[in-house]
Structure 1
Amino acid sequence: MSTDSPFDQEHTVTDDGRIEFSSIGEGHFIFEDKNLVYSEDDQVQHELEVQLGEEGQTDVNATVLWKHVVKGRKCGNAHGGSHVFKCKHCQKIYHGTYTRVYAHLMGHKKGESKGIGYCSAVKADKNLQLQIKREVEQAESSPNVVPLKKSKLNSCSGATSQGPSLALSYAGSFEKDPSAQDRHDVDSKVIRCLCANGIPFNVLRSPYWEEMVSAISKELGYKSPSYERASTILLQNERIIVESELDDFKQKWSHYGISILSNGWTDVKHRPLINVIASNQFGSMFLHALDFQVVEKSHKKIAHYMLETIEKVSPYNVVQLIMDNSASCRAAGEDVMKAYPCIFWTPCIVHTLKLVLKDVIKELPWLKKTYLTAKAIVKYIVYHFDAAEIFLNHSKLELLKAATRPYAVYYIFHLLFNVKETLVAAVLSDQWEIWSRLPILDEKVELCGYSVKEGVLSEDFWEAVQLALDIIKPVYKMIKFTEQEGPLIGEICERMDNMLGEIQDNLKKHVEMFMTVKEKLFSRWTKSNVPLQCLAYALTPKYYDEDLIQTPAPGGRKRCAPDQDDDIFEGAMAAICKMHPNDDHADTIRVQFLSFVEKKGKFSSPTAKRDARNPKINVLQWWKFHGGDTKELRDMAFRVLAQPISASSIEKPWSTYNFIHHAKRYQLNESQADDLMFVHSNLRLLSRFNQNYQYGQHRKWDINSGHIFTDESSSQWEEMHLSGLEDESSFLSPASTSHSSIQELLRIIEDVPSNCNQSTDDASLVNCGDRGSPAVGVYRLDSTGKTKKFL
């Protein structure tokens, strides 16, 4: 190396640890010696080979910050493991061990001195500080790496002498990580704890579990809090923290409004609970839950409870109240609207469609008989080991694992129809003839083997199944649409018309049957009863597109712009007047509404028309882009279009009811149980609106296939949206599934808890189980597809 190289000279160090090279400029920093690292690839390789005296032999991840400097050769024996290095950020040259590199890039506590200053470039760039912090944390907490030395990171409560508060404190003391055997022992303790306390393994997917383990690993000698402290002070503090995390969402309430979602649930013993959530398109917040086991279940009590909730969140913020479409909830909603005329009561669209299915099944005796026969055939197979084994021997078909939902009748018909050939082959086999003569031992079985064979071989039965699907499938598609996320309230009226049109197309040869379905639908839902949905439809710009209007609609219906539909226009005007009791304000908005529907001003621009057709721009974004000239109308559009349409789309199957009763069982008082429910529910709701919930290692972490109260498969159906409904073959894709059809049918007919929200006066045939009820099925399939019986 050249004698001019600074790496061969004796270095003098200033007070902050920087080396002075008074006679050599920046351009003389020479990269020609073989011991100098001059590229990132070489640097990584070099770090794997170099022994750092003070740090010892180290894994590369334990010295992750070396990549932020250009490292020269050792400084000599006097300096032990010291190296000359140049910071890539501030371009200054220093010498020292990894300890100094760490202190230079991470800062150190006030009063400490590592002989090196905090990097000025890092100090000035908060994003760079966070990046470096994450790199260090990930390297030191990586489960795949066992570094021999580990720093201790603590967030500084205030600014340090060398850097801002975002810099992490650096503890110079190191201690050796446990050996591989020690790590195995720790893993064993974790599994033992989970098993002993009945905690599902799914908890290991939770981001909160990862945060907990990471925090414990950084706090040496940490002791777990006591039961008393956890259930009092710590629980109260956590509620305060969660409430602060919800502040961003609550700040949007005054501008976008909220809907109060109220779901009624019962457990297997029919103990009632009503839980309440505040929601709009920007988030959801669990407010509280009321155990109606101890109060009168009248509409007056429900209304009183809702009025207290509205007062708590401010009546101005509340746009609508969404409840079940039962008689008591409807009466309670009317009482609320009398107290607050500006608030809408809207029936939950999912519950409404469930009741429509119930009404149709009751009105059509053949449909009820077909459903009961199909269910009995499924029960016969899944509750008999030999029958199930015969079926599996003839089945090559695997189906997506379906959720048990309020529309389980659709699943039974659809899946049974798709295994028709397998069922026929099974009942015609020699094994079936022998086994079907054996006595029936399980009380759940309603048909004998001969009756099952007769039903499976009956063409009339399969024709009835197909006709049932013609009625139920459009309703199912509508339910699945309502369970998507996003501003959907403006599409309900159009989608309901399309649903009815599809049923009409399917029943062209059965006009009387179609009229029965139509009558039952209109008895539960009409446009005149949902003025807010009419207004949302009228404020959705894509429905004024000329190309869309010319597109044929299902059922032969002629499309028209929303303002040309008398029911829609009257409902929209009624909603505007209801939301704005001040006549002058209402008049201003109505005039601006006419400018919108007539496409005047900015609404006539090519960009506005193009954005209306653009699926990448939702309706809220459209109004933000193009509603500036009509601010009053735009602000009203925000409040209307940001509202949800269904309580079921927000309340995921988290066994809320049972969680409360477990809290009572463990002798928590009312305040503690309320805090526990608040923290539990809102942490999950916060997760749902986090990007990491949709993607990454924590994707949908709270949906647990191993827990009897949750339904992992609902996410699979949710992701399919409507694509699978248009192509029947998509339900039968062998490449993407791992559950046999017999297991699928087992899940449907077992008394496992359902997602359906039910009221005490609306039990239905399509209700496939109560929330919180235990799974009572006795058969399961092992990894080879064989049925096992659990004692």
Structure 2
Amino acid sequence: MKEYLRAFEESKHTKQREFDDAVDGGAYFGVDLPFPASVKRGIRGPMDRFVANELEDGKVVPPSATAKEHCSRVCLDIGRFFFENSIPFNCVRSPSFISMVRSIGGYGRGLKPPSMHEMRTWILKEEVKTTSAIVDEIKATWKHTGVSLLSDGWSDMRNRSLINFLVNNQYGTMFLKTVDASDVVKNAQKLFELLDEVVEEIGEDHVVQVITDNVVAYKAAGRLLMEKRTSLYWTPCAAHCIDLMLEKIVDFELNKKVAKKDLLRPAATRFATAYLTLESMYELKQPLQHMFVSRDWKGCAWAKKDEGKAVRKIIMSDNSFWASVVYSIKTTKPLVDVLRVVDGERAPAMGFIYATMDEAKEKIAKNLNDEVVAYKEIWNIIDDKWEKQLHRDLHTTAYYLNPQFRWSENVSEHAEIKKRLFNCMERMIKDNDTYLKVDVQLDEYKNKRGLFGSRASMSTYTSRAPVDWWEHFGDEVPHLKAFAKRILGLTCSACERNWSTFNQVHTKKRNRLSTLFLNKLVYIMYNKRLKHKHSKRQLRKEKDDPLVVEDVASDDEWIANPNDENDIDVDDANSDDIEADHMDEGTSSSIPRKRGRNEVSKKGKGKEVQHRMRTWMRMMKVQEMIIIKLDY
């Protein structure tokens, strides 16, 4: 036994020496210093780089490198760490990376880096505590605003069925935890018990609605939850419902015979990205056709390939292709606009979904020249999903309480709206005195009396976010104000809110992470990102987005990239590949994405055309953006 322990100890020391040799031998910084790189004494401050160093034998050696050279070598060591460990280049933009570099530089030479055990134990624990302090600030708002409990299921690389639980109000989304639900995901009773447990953890008084997927087990679990918790609602994910509408519409279009050729079909992309790609293609039709008749194209390698010839034929002479693109845009773009609204996080969407769905139907009819035969089937698809899955008391009540629609000339006075309003009041307001006060105060709001009729109110109700408007002008009707803010501050969607965060944590290299560690890591990453996003918006003094659909451009970052432009850019690993592509091709730009850029650059001796052709080919491959079926 002693021999075994001695051998183990020697092996341990041997590995440590080998590791130290690898560190010293592979470092750029310190290789020509007059003292070993592992010596603790040395450069301890910025001035030490410019003064001579005295060794033990009394000899004085002048500084061997300038500050600029020292900085370059440190950067090379940092780069090597990134390259050898496959870390995305975007991580250098992370504030925590800058903080780490500053802390190391402030400590000076001789810092002993933490071990893997330390990273997994006390360091992780301390960071969870720090993150919890941030989360507590948001939790303090829950009792005033009410929250939505978001449940989003996914499968990891070990085929475990995990459920992410998040909590959302108008101040942002907070990651709560992940639960391994492999044994309960298809059992409605077990799902109900799981949801009920999380509601209890948050506090029933705080939870206004629970949003889940639309599968059968979740629907049944939602009904059971509403039977037990009589003050909250279960609602399906609006983004998922609209995505199903789009899929049904595409199936309908594929079954239509248009010039004996199938229409475009979306691939498995994030919601409606393919449809916005079609719109971008149509907007760039003229520059694209110009590219295919240019000299650069003739000298390009793609011009000699069968795929390039086939694409050129489609772009230049296939009128049915462009007709199909136009038809697809006309029938799906209005729903994509709604999808942007319900899946956005910059402002609550509950007060807009009811009206925007009606507007989307009208836009589709108008796009098809108001011909009933042309739009009837599409309307039926939308109505089927809307009535059976998405049409809820909360959505209708929020429509009534949103002055942008309630005070509009085109306001709907359908009896169903009032009925659902009182259903919502009955369920959410248990105190009878409060219920009667809210009922009376509704007349003040409807007839624009008091503060509601003031000049400030009348001039801003169409531009202010509904929650903000009620905060400013609802003081004379406090009970109605609290009820309205509680509903108008809700979200409509639970899907895909932190997929990129989970994908970073649960990679192939880390697929054996326990649920406990997965919880802690995502808890830190997601909630820190939320804080960073909120701080960034405050710094820029951004106003609440009132979510006017017409103001959202088709090439919005929401469509081009699932990451919000305010996110920390640590999860956009693909941009490294894109930048590398640009470097390899010797060009600095790709296909123009913004409207108004109608010229195709001819610089680069054909390389720009090659790059653009490669991009369009990627878009037209089966596993990329769309499929083009060429069988006549």
- What's the TM-score, normalizing by structure 1? 0.58
Deviation at 1:502, TM superposition (A): 0.5
Q: Which amino acid aligns with 1:241?
A: T
Deviation at 1:295, TM superposition (A): 4.8
The equivalences for 1:449-468 within 5 A come to 453=313, 457-468=317-328
Q: State the partner residue of 1:346.
A: 235
SS of structure 1 residue aligned to 2:493: coil
Q: Is 1:195 matched up with 2:94? A: no
Q: State the partner residue of 1:574.
A: 423
Q: Is 1:686 matched up with 2:548? A: no
Count of equivalent residues: 525
Instruction: Give per-residue Cα distances to partners, 1:734-764, cap 9 Å, x unaligned.
Output: 699999654554554568799xxxxxxxxxx
SS of structure 1 residue aligned to 2:337: helix
Match 2:479 to one of 632, 639, 647: 632
SS of structure 1 residue aligned to 2:150: strand
Is the contact made by 1:205 and 1:701 (CA closer than 8 Å) also made in structure 2? no
SS of structure 1 residue aligned to 2:430: coil
User: What is the rounded CA distance, in whole Å, between the counterparts of 1:694 and 1:711 in structure 2?
Assistant: 31
User: What is the rounded CA distance, in whole Å, between the counterparts of 1:747 and 1:348 in structure 2?
Assistant: 31
Q: Is 1:236 matched up with 2:236? A: no
Deviation at 1:505, TM superposition (A): 0.5
Q: Is 1:700 matched up with 2:569? A: no
Q: State the partner residue of 1:246.
A: 135
User: What is the rounded CA distance, in whole Å, between the counterparts of 1:579 and 1:148 in structure 2?
Assistant: 67
Is the contact made by 1:653 and 1:711 (CA closer than 8 Å) also made in structure 2? no
Match 1:540 to one of 374, 396, 402: 402
Q: Which amino acid aligns with 1:258?
A: V
User: What is the rounded CA distance, in whole Å, between the counterparts of 2:502 and 2:624 in structure 1?
Assistant: 12
Is the contact made by 1:264 and 1:274 (CA closer than 8 Å) also made in structure 2? yes
Q: State the partner residue of 2:392.
A: 530
Match 1:306 to one of 192, 195, 201: 195
Match 1:256 to one of 145, 160, 168: 145
- What's the TM-score, normalizing by structure 2? 0.72
User: What is the rounded CA distance, in whole Å, between the counterparts of 2:488 and 2:303 in structure 1?
Assistant: 61
Is the contact made by 1:489 and 1:536 (CA closer than 8 Å) also made in structure 2? yes
| Identical positions, percent | 23
Deviation at 1:658, TM superposition (A): 5.8
User: What is the rounded CA distance, in whole Å, between the counterparts of 2:115 and 2:498 in structure 1?
Assistant: 32
Is the contact made by 2:164 and 2:177 (CA closer than 8 Å) also made in structure 1? yes
Match 1:494 to one of 337, 352, 355: 355
Structure 1 pair 192–407 and aligned structure 2 pair: CA distance change class (3 A): same
Deviation at 1:577, TM superposition (A): 0.9
Instruction: Give per-residue Cα distances to partners, 1:502-534, cap 9 Å, x unaligned.
Output: 001011264223111111111111498311121
Match 1:659 to one of 479, 494, 505: 505
Q: State the partner residue of 1:485.
A: 346
Q: Which amino acid aligns with 1:478?
A: V
The equivalences for 1:203-602 within 5 A come to 203-220=91-108, 221-266=110-155, 272-293=161-182, 295-366=184-255, 405-421=270-286, 453=313, 457-482=317-342, 483=344, 485-508=346-369, 510-526=371-387, 529-545=391-407, 548-549=408-409, 559-560=410-411, 564-602=413-451
Structure 1 pair 528–365 and aligned structure 2 pair: CA distance change class (3 A): closer
Is the contact made by 2:287 and 2:600 (CA closer than 8 Å) also made in structure 1? no
The answer to which structure, 1 or 2, has the higher relative contact order (CA under 8 A, 6+ apart) is 2
Is the contact made by 1:275 and 1:288 (CA closer than 8 Å) also made in structure 2? yes
User: What is the rounded CA distance, in whole Å, between the counterparts of 1:254 and 1:712 in structure 2?
Assistant: 45
Deviation at 1:411, TM superposition (A): 3.1
User: What is the rounded CA distance, in whole Å, between the counterparts of 2:565 and 2:302 in structure 1?
Assistant: 46
User: What is the rounded CA distance, in whole Å, between the counterparts of 1:304 and 1:207 in structure 2?
Assistant: 40
SS of structure 1 residue aligned to 2:173: strand
Q: Which amino acid aligns with 1:537?
A: Y
Q: Is 1:183 matched up with 2:49? A: no
Deviation at 1:694, TM superposition (A): 7.7
Deviation at 1:225, TM superposition (A): 1.0
Structure 1 pair 307–186 and aligned structure 2 pair: CA distance change class (3 A): same
SS of structure 2 residue aligned to 1:247: helix
SS of structure 1 residue aligned to 2:573: coil
Instruction: Give per-residue Cα distances to partners, 1:531-573, cap 9 Å, x unaligned.
Output: 112111211223343xx41xxxxxxxxx12x5x2322222211
Instruction: Give per-residue Cα distances to partners, 1:153-202, cap 9 Å, x unaligned.
Output: xxxxxxxxxxxxxxxxxxxxxx9998332222211110011111111110
Deviation at 1:500, TM superposition (A): 0.8
Deviation at 1:574, TM superposition (A): 1.0
Instruction: Give per-residue Cα distances to partners, 1:479-521, cap 9 Å, x unaligned.
Output: 2233251133212211111111100101126422311111111
Is the contact made by 1:488 and 1:644 (CA closer than 8 Å) also made in structure 2? yes
User: What is the rounded CA distance, in whole Å, between the counterparts of 2:225 and 2:90 in structure 1?
Assistant: 41
User: What is the rounded CA distance, in whole Å, between the counterparts of 2:246 and 2:470 in structure 1?
Assistant: 36
Q: Which amino acid aligns with 1:184?
A: S
Structure 1 pair 647–595 and aligned structure 2 pair: CA distance change class (3 A): same
Q: Name the Cα RMSD after superposition.
A: 4.3
Is the contact made by 1:412 and 1:745 (CA closer than 8 Å) also made in structure 2? no
Instruction: Give per-residue Cα distances to partners, 1:642-691, cap 9 Å, x unaligned.
Output: 1122224x8155151462355853x5444333212211221122222222
Deviation at 1:272, TM superposition (A): 4.2
Deviation at 1:240, TM superposition (A): 1.3
Q: Which amino acid aligns with 1:572?
A: L
Q: Which amino acid aligns with 1:411?
A: L
User: What is the rounded CA distance, in whole Å, between the counterparts of 1:752 and 1:269 in structure 2?
Assistant: 24
Q: Which amino acid aligns with 2:326?
A: Q
SS of structure 2 residue aligned to 1:489: coil
User: What is the rounded CA distance, in whole Å, between the counterparts of 2:76 and 2:261 in structure 1?
Assistant: 49
Q: Which amino acid aligns with 2:483?
A: M
Structure 1 pair 711–341 and aligned structure 2 pair: CA distance change class (3 A): farther
Is the contact made by 1:694 and 1:700 (CA closer than 8 Å) also made in structure 2? no
Instruction: Give per-residue Cα distances to partners, 1:284-317, cap 9 Å, x unaligned.
Output: 2101123444654334343332222111111111
